[in-house]
Amino acid sequence: MQISIFTVDAFTDQPFSGNPAAVCLLEDELEEGWHQKIATEMNLSETAFIRKLHPTDDFTRKNVNSTLTFVTLSGELNARQAGDHIILDLPLYPTYPQDFQEVEKLVKATVGDMNVQDVRYSPDTKKLLVCLSDAYGRSDLEKIQVNAQELLLAEKTGKVQGLIVTLKGDFHGKHESYDFYSRYFAPWVGILEDPVTGSAHTVLSSYWSQQLGKKEMCAFQCSTRGGKLKILLRPDGRVDVSGQTVIVLKGFLTI
C-alpha cells in the first residue's frame, strides 16, 4: 500500500520554522496499530490521518468553506481554511490566581531570579502560566534555558502538566508587532519545549484578552523555530487560533 504523505510546517510562512506535522491521506482504513507505527516512523510531535467520509470525496478539490474534523486525545478539533490561513476552532480556558509559594520551586527552576508579576493556573488543562514583568522584552524570554530534570524534580504532584512563560508584547521593537509572546514547556508529557502550541493559546488567549481588553490579538511563540498566531475570541465563548502553513515535503509512504 502507498499512502500520500506530507510534512507541513504550521503557524509560519517560512520553511523549517513553526510547528512541523506529518499529514497522511488515507484512501482505505489502516490495520490496527499502523497509525502509531507511522507516527513513530515520522518522529514528529503530531501526525494527522485524513480519510474520506464518502467514496466520492476528492482530496484534490479546494473548498475554502469546508471543515476538517480531527479526532484527538483532547477531543474533536475542527479546522477550516480562510485565505492563506488555517483556523482552528478551540475552547477557551480561564486561568485563576495561583499561590506563588506553592509553585515557587517550579517557577524558579524555569525562569530563575527573573521578576514575575503574575502566576495563574488553568485546572481544565493543568497548565501553569507564568507572566514576566513588563520590564523584560522578547530577547529576555528567548534567552531562558530550561532543564527538563529540574522541572520534573520541582513538580511531582501531577497538578502541572505544562508550563507557559509569557510576556506582554512590544510594539516598538525591531521585530514585528505582537500583543504577547510565550514559550511552552511540558517535560511531564515527554516534551521539553514545544515549537508552537495551539492548546497553550487556549489559556493564553483568555489571560491576555483580560489583561489587554482585546478580542483580536497577534501572538508569537518564541521557541527556536518560532511561530506566529492570530487570535479571535468569539461571542460563543470559544477562540479561533489561526496561522499560515508551508508544505516542506511530499511523497509516498510504502507499507
Cell of 249: 515535503
Identify whether 90 is part of a domain. Answer: no
pLDDT digits (tens, 9 = 90+) for 81-131: 999 999 999 999 999 999 999 999 999 999 999 999 999 999 999 999 999
Q: Please check whether residues 101 and 177 belong to one and the same domain.
A: yes
Residues 201 and 151 occupy one common structural domain: yes
| pLDDT value of residue 42 | 94
Name the active-site residue from 29, 46, 76, 216.
46
pLDDT for position 206: 97
Question: Based on the domain organization, do 107 and 181 belong to the same domain?
Answer: yes
Whether the full predicted model's pTM is greater than 0.85, yes or no, is yes
Domains: count for the chain: 2
Q: Output the pLDDT for position 65.
A: 57
Confidence at residue 130, expressed as pLDDT on a 0 to 100 scale: 98
Domain assignment present for 133: yes
pLDDT digits (tens), the chain, 255 positions: 899 999 999 999 999 999 999 999 988 888 889 999 999 999 987 899 988 766 666 655 555 557 888 877 667 889 999 999 999 999 999 999 999 999 999 999 999 999 999 999 999 999 999 999 999 999 999 999 999 999 999 999 999 999 999 999 986 656 678 999 999 999 999 999 999 999 999 999 999 999 999 999 999 999 999 999 999 999 999 999 999 999 999 999 998
Domain encompassing residue 236: 96-240
Long-range contacts, 221-224 (Cβ 8 Å, 24+) = 221/11, 221/181, 221/182, 221/183, 221/184, 221/195, 221/196, 221/197, 222/138, 222/141, 222/142, 222/181, 222/182, 222/183, 223/183, 223/184, 223/193, 223/194, 223/195, 223/196, 224/193, 224/195
46 labelled catalytic: yes
In a shared domain, residues 17 and 100 = no
84 lies in some domain? no
C-alpha cell at 178: 505582537
Question: Domain holding 8: CATH number?
Answer: 3.10.310.10
CA 48 to chain centre: 15
Query: Is there a domain that residue 91 lies in?
Result: no
